[in-house]
Amino acid sequence: MKTAGSHGFYPVVDDVRWVRRFLPLGVRTIQLRIKGQSQMEARRQIHEALVIAADYDDCQMIVNDYWRETIQEGATWLHLGQEDWAGADRAAIRAAGIKLGISTHSSEELANALDARPDYVALGPIYETTLKKMPWSPQGLDRIGEWKAHCGVPLVAIGGITLERAPAVLAAGADSIAVVSDVLRAPDPDGRVRAWLDLFREATPRASLSK
């Protein structure tokens, strides 16, 4: 069952084994972002992740990038970057009834994303991140409020956000916080997930990404 505020915590994981590990802890929004694998392996992991998620009520299982496999496997959520969205079959995605999240890093990208009528918009990086080299400077907390005032859909903050920084990110207006390194690189990933879930239980309950 859905835990109050659990949809505000949005881990992004690089392997299906994390999906199997984190959903029993109470995570109800999670993104599978597979890099450096064959399409066959990506599809296998997507399929397995969807099977796992089906056992949990109200779970938002989001696939990153692989829009063809998302359609083929019957997933209901897809996250794309700007270039991925530009090159995707938009009509096929919409015809499949898939809900969509799009990454943004600039005002121009926000306008492009909103033209796509997404179900949520992601803004990042909020803080400097070591996960991957980014051509954009950290957005900062003020940008969260600016985006929230214009996007009209749930806003996901991502990039360099730790548990300790999370209250300020929520106070700035983010609906959800996407987390990668703070969980996956933690000495105790399960314990860190529980701490994030506790934070959202204590905070004002957040809506799910599908308003």
Reduced to 3 states (helix: H, G, I; strand: E, B; else coil), residue 149 is: helix
Active site residue 143: no
- Residue 133 is a catalytic residue: no
Enter the DSSP assignment of 2.
P
- Return the DSSP state at 12: E
Q: Which member of 33, 90, 99, 165 is catalytic?
A: 33
Measured distance CA(89)–CA(22) in Å, rounded: 31
Q: From residue 81, give the alpha-carbon distance in Å to each of 62, 110, 136, 152, 186.
A: 13, 11, 14, 19, 26
Tell me which of 6, 28, 43, 103 is the catalytic residue.
103
Beta bridge partners of 178: 10, 158
Distance CA 28, CA 77 (A): 13
Choosing from 35, 38, 132, 137, which is the catalytic residue? 132
Q: At what angle do helices 107-115 and 141-151 cross, to 10 degrees?
A: 30
Active-site annotation holds for 33: yes
User: What are the structure tokens assigned to 82, written together?
Assistant: 């700007």
Tell me how far apart the alpha carbons of residues 63 and 16 are, in angstroms, rounded to a whole number: 11
Name residue, tokens 């943004």. 104
Strands 155-158 and 176-179, bridge-based pairing: parallel
| Residues carrying an active site annotation | 33, 103, 132
